[in-house]
Amino acid sequence: MPNSDLKAIKVVVKGRIQGVGYRANTHKKATQLGITGYIRSVQGREIELVAEGKEEALEELIEFLEEGPSGAEIEACEVEWIEATDEFIRFSIKY
């Protein structure tokens, strides 16, 4: 039975995000917020994230993604609310 409180997002972030700890900082933030899912590099200037959790936590994560860690230059942050699958155990960085 799916958890009705569980929401999910798919986010594509574009910009200068390599070499600034973007994935590691996002992993830390998502874990603090109790969010599950993953983040991975798609291309040199792009990452993809799929995250599941409570709506408030996901909204806080989106704000973090739009800002990024110091040194990051975010050009675009495309957020899509998707169906939650409850398939993730933790938040991970995929390589």
What tens digit of pLDDT does each residue of 35-45 get?
A: 999 999 998 78
The C-alpha angle 9, 38, 64, rounded to 5 degrees, equals 60
Task: Give me the CATH topology for the region 7-94.
Answer: Alpha-Beta Plaits (3.30.70)
Domain boundaries, the chain: 7-94
Residue 2's pLDDT is 54
Q: Tell me the H-state helices in the chain.
A: 22-32, 55-67
pLDDT in tens, 46-95: 999 999 999 999 999 999 999 999 999 999 999 999 999 999 999 999 98
Whether this prediction's pTM lies above 0.85 is answered by: yes
Res. 7: pLDDT tops 60: yes
19/26 Cα distance (integer angstroms): 13
Res. 3: pLDDT tops 80: no
Res. 1: pLDDT tops 60: no
Residue 83's pLDDT is 97
Strand, coil or helix: what is 59?
Answer: helix
